[in-house]
A and B are shown apart, each in its own frame.
Chain A
């Protein structure tokens, strides 16, 4: 039911041809549909013979990735939240690889997802190590506290 309502929404959108904004600059209107178009799900829905769920998967994973990226870029409070945002970003990318396995039948993408997961975990481990070493020098984990080198 939920998927049906979403898909009908997308079909209406397709008739409006907003997907073409990046291929045809004269149609570019800006705004949030342009941002959504970056993640490419709409483009793939209209321009190739992939299933409908694949496009939705891509949009979803692109949204998760963008949540993580915005979290890294605009977080001004806590470094731990920043690391959580990095993890969210990598998990969103992982979802792309997994959907490549599910919908496109590419076995190698599952291996990529596995390796990617381990790399993201290693990155988090290094980040926590750095953070703890920093915390032992100076017990402060706010992002604003890291400003000794500015100037």
Chain B
């Protein structure tokens, strides 16, 4: 009542509170009076006949199926959250606002239908697959962990009966995705060009989708995505002059920026994702046939994460960057738990989810601290503020530390690296490749923007360089020593990637043009080597179980079977170890050179020592490939490689051999060609991030 007298505008709130209290009490009373009760309830509370009092809390057991409905409610709460401000300001927003909200509702409805069709809302634990042979079952046996992104994947409601609905969904989703995907670039020509490509390819896809068997569908599905990505790539080619100038182009209220640096990075991201989809196509087809699971969302979620990486690269506001990172992370959670028949994959997904949520919470807390201290999150204003003060305010320093924790988690750098080996081990092998290469490229390019543009060389050099030196040294040591005793192949790759990221941070912590150039060079070589390594690894299968190669010593039989492929594998490993004629050597050489010029001599010594140690375990795999003499028990752990020749593959084994060989010879063996290109890129990066505007 006192509140009522002082301020009458809280009257409605109080009425609302009282009403909700009355309603909840009424419902509780209703359930209490109407529910069925047993007569002698004292039996339930007493101890059992063995005489022990019950251990632990008896009330803690929850029906887990309750959370199915919980998730549904969360999604519809979100809808209300967005629709309430929209409904209040409908008069201001007009027709565009109405159309926007309606398209949002449409996507939500489509996703809901998809969820329902997929059997995600069933109460029962599992259902028997009646056909058992269907490659792409419409109703999956178990719940797919893609509740949120499935809102957007309405086009996957695959049914032969309703082809019209299918075509409608396809065009709708493609165009909306396309608009979102390219809209932030802000150039109508690119939108139209890519729309044309997309329409052509989606039309071709619909024809092939119903004309052939489902196994072929999947291939064309992947092929379409790859072609669309190549189309983007062509459209975004900086040499075409669409974005050839260094003039920055701001869009969306200065939340996004397009300049020479972002266009270059996007170009490489498109290229990498297209190559990734094409490399993993055969493996996924093979896997989905063997395990009878539906992987048709896979390229779509890859494209979502690509989209969020593009958004991240061009974001020019810390909160915008947070939203982009969260979108990327959501896609990665779903990718990690994609193989929902395997407990390993789900456990990897859960681990990645828990630690990733912690890291993004830290990131957001850092953003909030920066925001309330400086009252802005715009990069230009923050850069101005950072450069005029002598000493950063305390809150801003802590905010930046929290923000870098988020980055280090995404890049699996030393203090936040603990998730890497487990997650790499558990997920599907293509997802391991994606985590190890493409994601790192996207996140690292934004980290460079943050370090060299937002904070500027002055702040960076005088405060952050020791932190980054420590982090680089830590991840080199932890990754190198961790990989030393690994016998599992994918866990080994996880530790290796920690090690390589540490080497890449040597260049960053030099804090100058040369260092940045060297780290970009190293990153690109790492990505290429990773692609080469995995392109071969994805084709190798254990002939007895039909599963992936789990252990390193299983590769010994592979060396006898295919000399060409194992030779290329050995070249990739030599390149990772940094042997002189190969790409990895030049990457490490430039890194150490930049560290030498910056005066970080102790880091050079550490890097060289750890490089010698890491050469040991790289060469151990090469020894396994060629010199392992274990003919007595070859049959017991025999591994044969399996090409998907039964599915009319694009890639003949011989063609594959020669392709990969040419790939490696042209790109990895001639580093200077790439060096010229990439030093150009890095120079422009630094120029655009420090000098202009």
Instruction: Write the residues of chain A forming the contact surface with B, with a CB cutoff of 8 angstroms.
Output: 22-23, 38, 40, 43-44, 47, 58, 65, 68-69, 72-73, 78-80, 82, 86, 89-90, 92-93, 96-97, 99-100, 104, 106, 109, 112, 114-119, 121-139, 141, 146, 148-150
Q: Is the CB of A93 within 8 A of B368?
A: yes
Q: With the chains together, A74 CA to B660 CA distance in Å?
A: 47
Contact with A along B335-359 (1 / 0, CB 8 A): 0010011111011111101100110
Q: With the chains together, A73 CA to B375 CA distance in Å?
A: 31
Q: Is B144 an interface residue (CB 8 A)?
A: yes
From B355, which residue of chain A is reached at the shortest CB distance? A72
Q: With the chains together, A92 CA to B362 CA distance in Å?
A: 11
Q: Is the CB of A104 within 8 A of B372?
A: yes
Q: Is the CB of A115 within 8 A of B358?
A: no
Q: Is the CB of A125 within 8 A of B81?
A: no
Q: List 22 A-B contacts (CB under 8 A).
A: A22-B394, A38-B398, A40-B373, A69-B358, A78-B60, A82-B354, A86-B354, A86-B357, A93-B361, A93-B364, A96-B365, A96-B369, A100-B371, A100-B372, A123-B326, A127-B333, A129-B71, A130-B349, A130-B350, A133-B144, A137-B342, A148-B426
Q: Is the CB of A40 within 8 A of B369?
A: yes
Q: Is the CB of A72 within 8 A of B354?
A: yes
Q: Is the CB of A126 within 8 A of B67?
A: no
Interchain CB contact (< 8 A) of B333 among A47, A121, A130: A130
What distance in Å separates the Cβ of A114 from its nearest Cβ neighbour in chain B? 7
Interface of B is mostly: helix
Q: Which residues of A contact B70 (CB under 8 A)?
A: 128
Interface of A is mostly: helix
Q: Which residues of A contact B398 (CB under 8 A)?
A: 38, 40
Q: Which residues of B contact A90 (CB under 8 A)?
A: 361, 364
Q: With the chains together, A42 CA to B358 CA distance in Å?
A: 25
From A149, which residue of chain B is reached at the shortest CB distance? B422
Give 10 nearest A-B pairs by CB, closest first. A129-B147, A96-B368, A134-B346, A129-B145, A149-B422, A40-B395, A130-B145, A89-B361, A133-B145, A86-B357
Q: With the chains together, A114 CA to B83 CA distance in Å?
A: 12
Q: Is the CB of A65 within 8 A of B395?
A: no
Q: Is B78 an interface residue (CB 8 A)?
A: yes
Q: Is the CB of A125 within 8 A of B347?
A: no
Q: Is the CB of A141 within 8 A of B64?
A: yes
Q: Which residues of A contact B323 (CB under 8 A)?
A: 115, 119
Residue among B77, B142, B344, B371 with max Cβ neighbours from chain A (10 Å): B371
Q: Which of B95-134 contact A (CB under 8 A)?
A: 120, 125-126
Interchain CB contact (< 8 A) of A40 among B344, B346, B394: B394
From A114, which residue of chain B is reached at the shortest CB distance? B81
- Given A89-B357, A96-B371, A129-B143, 8 more A-B residue pairs with CB atoms under 8 Å apart are A65-B365, A72-B357, A86-B361, A126-B147, A129-B120, A132-B145, A133-B337, A137-B343
Q: Is the CB of B361 within 8 A of A133?
A: no
- Interface size grouping (class) on chain B: 35 or more
Interchain CB contact (< 8 A) of B85 among A104, A114, A121, A127: A114
Q: Which of B380-405 contact A (CB under 8 A)?
A: 393-395, 398
From A58, which residue of chain B is reached at the shortest CB distance? B372
From A117, which residue of chain B is reached at the shortest CB distance? B81
Q: With the chains together, A109 CA to B341 CA distance in Å?
A: 42
What distance in Å separates the Cβ of B246 from its nearest Cβ neighbour in chain A? 29
Q: Which residues of B contact A40 (CB under 8 A)?
A: 369, 373, 394-395, 398
Contact with A along B53-82 (1 / 0, CB 8 A): 000000010101101101100110110011
Q: Which residues of B contact A132 (CB under 8 A)?
A: 64-65, 67-68, 71, 143, 145
From A77, which residue of chain B is reached at the shortest CB distance? B60
Q: Which residues of B contact A128 (CB under 8 A)?
A: 67, 70-71, 74, 147
What distance in Å separates the Cβ of A110 from its nearest Cβ neighbour in chain B? 10
Q: With the chains together, A55 CA to B486 CA distance in Å?
A: 50
Q: Is the CB of B346 within 8 A of A133?
A: yes
Q: Is the CB of A136 within 8 A of B126?
A: yes
Interchain CB contact (< 8 A) of B364 among A73, A99, A116, A146: A116
Q: Is B533 an interface residue (CB 8 A)?
A: no
Q: With the chains together, A72 CA to B357 CA distance in Å?
A: 9
A146-B361 contact given A43-B394, A118-B82, A135-B64, CB 8 Å threshold? no
